A and B are shown apart, each in its own frame.
Chain A
């Protein structure tokens, strides 16, 4: 989609990853690919290790076996410098925002710029306000502290911070959890728009059926420590795995699906 960034089309390649937590195998020889420019929705029952996988890819959790490649670089073998360069190219939206509570909104968004780029204060201010406006906030929130923001605003500011350096991949951990349905819908829309204008690859852990239907190009389902199905929504509906069946063909899912179909027609 965007420029010559090497010929790797799988921006994330996870191979046979094993992660043990407290002596329990959470991820068992899991493999997953994320293709450049797609929105990948990652689902699974609570406690199956969706967040664990995300944290493993990000290098926040140690793995016992397997490899994780991001932009074609094996993160275990990468030098400190290579790793730093890769970390610059991804942005992470944590489940609860993880905004720095002692910094104002605008300082939060400027934080990665300040660390990685040498910009004039004027340009940083302008870019930070631009990012905040792109995620649907007005310039009034700039000087507020995270404690003074509502849940939805925190998510938006956290997204603006994740996008601060124009990353190529964004990781979103349950971006719409804790938002009202309208807010969640707007957030989905926003992610879609940003993904299209900025050419992002989005890796999204979610429970939200609406998000899965409306913005995900591909869905991966995690169960028993493995990705059991990956593919577009039609593949989910065709799957015979009991959990996938219950999730995508259950009562709640049918309602969402029929609404989605009505929209189309």
Chain B
């Protein structure tokens, strides 16, 4: 394609009259150069009484050119200055007419008050936080109500859906959970052996491994993994359903989205997390045992008998009892965030991120609260 000549705007000042002769292509490609020419002409125009613009030499004109001509006319047209535009090709008349009508209203300038906007930002964040807490409590309430409804009418429970989600959340997560907890157990044991060896206290590695894995690490690692793996997918699923108005469609059919979408997912999660915690804890102990044997030179018999000696069932119970609560937290946060998704793709990404971040944070906070609770009751 050959782009025709560069735009030109020749100016001649005669007495108090400015004569502008336009030429070339006044099109998008040249809009930047043209803007400079127009600004120059506007400055010259300030000193004269009348301005003549001869457009006869213009080869091509598009919206960009038409607007810049309009801008020229508007900028120097004030203060009783006379402006004559001549030689405009007839087929561009419509375009010029169109340009004449646009950009008439100036958008209100945004007031910039630094302190004010800072306070407004804090206010907004605080409101969001309060809203968030309320929403989560609201969702907890809705879930409890749905559970009560289901107890009242067990046949309404969506078993198929729950089994489907159980497969995705639990069964398909088993390999990765086993792998990661196995490695974590192995690493704890290796570090323990390495440092305890200095005191000749290698056998206490078994105590540390057992308590740490069964009480804390097992459930925590699994919960964090599941928050990242399943919580995020719940948020994304519910969010895209919200975006495509599927959630609204359920409402209009007289169905509660909590019953249909959230309860089965939550139930699957609450069932899955203890199972995965159990598997994860076993894998971690196994990993620790293997390292003790291969790296620490501790016979598996010795490892097992030491484990049996120092680890009471309490530790196991404490660990396992935390799992369903963590599942609830992950599931509720994921659902609330999913239903917060607005129409845009960006909002879906934002809510998914926030779902994972919040549920991991709350899982850890919850773990700390459990630690205080169990310490208080002496377990």
Contacts and interface: CB of A to CB of B under 8 A. Distances in A.
Given A4-B4, A5-B1, A102 B28 contact: no
A123 B35 CA distance: 8
A147 B63 contact: no
Given A131-B63, A197-B98, A126 B103 contact: yes
Interface string B64-85: 1001100100000000000000
Nearest to B342: A147
B344 interface: yes
Nearest to A102: B346
Contacts of B67: 126-127, 130
Given A101-B345, A129-B102, A120 B91 contact: no
A244 B276 CA distance: 63
A118 B64 CA distance: 13
Contact of B64 (A133, A166, A196, A197): A166
Interface stretch (A58-66, A138-146, A213-221): A138-146
Contacts of A197: 94-95, 97-98
A117 interface: yes
A85 interface: yes
A23 interface: no
A140 B105 CA distance: 10
A118 B2 CA distance: 20
A138 B29 contact: no
A102 B343 CA distance: 10
B99 interface: yes
Given A85-B1, A142-B107, A117 B29 contact: yes
A182 interface: no
A1 B61 CA distance: 12
A1 B91 contact: yes
Contact of A145 (B2, B31, B103, B344): B344
A145 B29 CA distance: 28
Nearest to A73: B1
B27 interface: yes
B17 interface: no
Given A71-B1, A197-B95, A119 B347 contact: no
A140 B347 CA distance: 22
A101 B344 contact: yes
A134 interface: yes
Interface in B88-124: 91, 94-95, 97-99, 101-103, 105, 107
Contacts of B71: 126
Contacts, number: 92
A264 interface: no
A172 to B, nearest CB: 18
Given A133-B101, A134-B98, A147-B342, A123 B1 contact: no
B32 A134 contact: no
Contacts of A118: 32
Size class of the A contact interface (CB-based, 8 Å): 35 or more
Secondary structure dominating the interface of B: helix
A139 B62 CA distance: 21
A130 B99 contact: yes
B60 A3 contact: yes
Nearest to B105: A139
Interface residues of B, number: 35
B64 A127 contact: yes
B237 interface: no
B344 A130 contact: no
A42 B91 CA distance: 28
B32 A198 contact: no
B347 A196 contact: no
A97 to B, nearest CB: 12
A161 B281 CA distance: 56
A133 B102 contact: yes
Contacts of B62: 166, 198
B207 interface: no
A119 B32 contact: yes
Given A133-B103, A138-B105, A166-B27, A199 B344 contact: no
B8 to A, nearest CB: 16
B151 to A, nearest CB: 39
A6 interface: yes
B59 interface: yes
A145 B63 CA distance: 25
A163 B66 CA distance: 14
A139 B68 CA distance: 19
Nearest to A163: B63
Q: Which of A129, A163, A166 has the most CB of B within 10 A?
A: A166
A134 B102 contact: yes
Q: Which of A101, A120, A134, A197 has the most CB of B within 10 A?
A: A197
Contacts of B103: 126, 129-130, 133, 139
B243 to A, nearest CB: 9
A197 B29 CA distance: 19
Interface string A1-43: 1111110000000000000000000000000000000000000
7 contacts: A4-B4, A85-B1, A118-B32, A119-B31, A120-B35, A123-B31, A130-B103
Interface of B: 1-2, 4, 25, 27-29, 31-32, 35, 59-60, 62-64, 67-68, 71, 91, 94-95, 97-99, 101-103, 105, 107, 342-347
Given A2-B60, A127-B67, 10 more contacts: A3-B4, A4-B4, A117-B31, A119-B35, A130-B63, A130-B102, A134-B63, A139-B107, A166-B63, A197-B97
